[in-house]
Amino acid sequence: MVKCCVVGCTSGYKSNPEKIPQFCVPKDVKRREAWAKAIRRKDFILTEKHFVCFKHFREDDIIRYWKSGDIQIPYTKIKLNEEAVPSIFPGPKYLSKSSTKRKEPTVRCVIPKKIKFGDPEHLKRDVLNSEIPIENVSTNLKIHFNLFDEIASCSNLSSIIHWPLASPVCNNSIQNKYCFVSFCFGDYFPVIEKSVMVNKSGKITFGILGKEVSCTVLGIIPGENINLLADNIKEFEKVNICHGGPGIEEFPKMSSNLCTKSTTGRLKHNQCLQVIKTGSSACQRCRRLRNVLNMQKQRMVSGSRQLTQLSPTKKLAVNELRRVKNNLQKKCNRAKQCIVDLKLELNKVQNEMSKIGNESIKDK
């Protein structure tokens, strides 16, 4: 966890269990100077390796959504606008310049039935430019944004969702569905990794990489009120999901009916277990996929003759069959030899018979 460099702020310190988003100090020298001036920490040189937490920014500084037309998708990691400078500081030592209070966010998420990315490149750019602390980038494939955590721990979840959803209290009567999503990197642009959808009647459904996943697979009991929904989101956040086995580029000619290409550009077993235990990157079926596909590839190369690996029981059976075959072959060879011998014998006898015949004619 990165620590906030503002004096008196404990965000990111072990003593403070709160999960507060942190922003990297800007690389741009002018912006960084503005930040340093605002923070006013004595004997301290602010560098781009430092972080300043969410608490020191006004709501206007923060960008929460990716927007395209009517579609708004909450960023999994909130970001700062270009001009943002920290302005809210703790303690009497500081006099916060701005008196603008952070206002409660109103509309959080408007999700049409199908989310369309108007401009995937744009979205990718947005996500890449967002102020993600380096620590959060674990692999080149998976960038974990803790959207669920942030939203679920948000004290005013009830301001986002009016439960029951069909209630007339709902400010945005057009909304009859709410969706929380988190992204991960796909082939060319971020793809939705996990999604939690609440429909009009309050039914909660979960999705992994664009496919609905049953609650039993996840081991989550869908909640019936807003607090339970928050719990569901938290629980789902913790679930480790399978991103698939080998990359599609490993098996470009793959024509197997065993697996499909997942949105992340990796091959997923058709019966992928979806959920995995910590410590592995894919479920056992997807992990085995590479071996299976390699075997198929080899068989194709060697013209399906070569059997590569057999289970011990099959090996025994094959050996037994080979033994029987060899025995029969030997028997067959012996029988053939017998035939040759008998033919020779027959010739001899016939010759003798003809000799006898000739002699008896001479005698007469």
Looking at beta carbons only, is 112 or 210 nearer to Zn ion?
210
Q: Does 6 bind Zn ion (CB under 5 A)?
A: yes
Per CB under 5 A, the segment of 94-102, 148-156, 232-240, 241-249 that binds Zn ion is 241-249
Element holding 234 (H helix, E strand):
helix 226-238
Per CB under 5 A, the segment of 6-14, 199-207, 307-315, 321-329 that binds Zn ion is 6-14
Q: Does 53 bind Zn ion (CB under 5 A)?
A: yes
Query: 156: which DSSP letter?
Result: T
Contact 277/257 with Cβ under 8 angstroms? no
Question: Given candidates 78, 165, 286, 289, which one binds Zn ion under the rule CB under 5 A?
Answer: 286
Q: Which pair of structure tokens corresponds to residue 311?
A: 């289970």
Q: What are phi and psi of 156, to 5 degrees?
A: -110, 45
Element holding 149 (H helix, E strand):
helix 147-152
Looking at beta carbons only, is 147 or 283 nearer to Zn ion?
283
Question: Given candidates 36, 230, 283, 293, which one binds Zn ion under the rule CB under 5 A?
Answer: 283
Long-range own/partner contacts, residues 167-173 (CB < 8 A, 24 or more apart): 171/106, 171/107, 172/107, 172/110
Per CB under 5 A, the segment of 3-11, 181-189, 213-221, 330-338 that binds Zn ion is 3-11
Q: Does 242 bind Zn ion (CB under 5 A)?
A: yes
Distance CA 263, CA 207 (A): 13
Looking at beta carbons only, is 4 or 110 nearer to Zn ion?
4
Per CB under 5 A, the segment of 50-58, 100-108, 193-201, 318-326 that binds Zn ion is 50-58
Contact 306/298 with Cβ under 8 angstroms? yes
Per CB under 5 A, residues contacting Zn ion are 4, 6, 9, 11, 53, 55, 242, 272, 283, 286
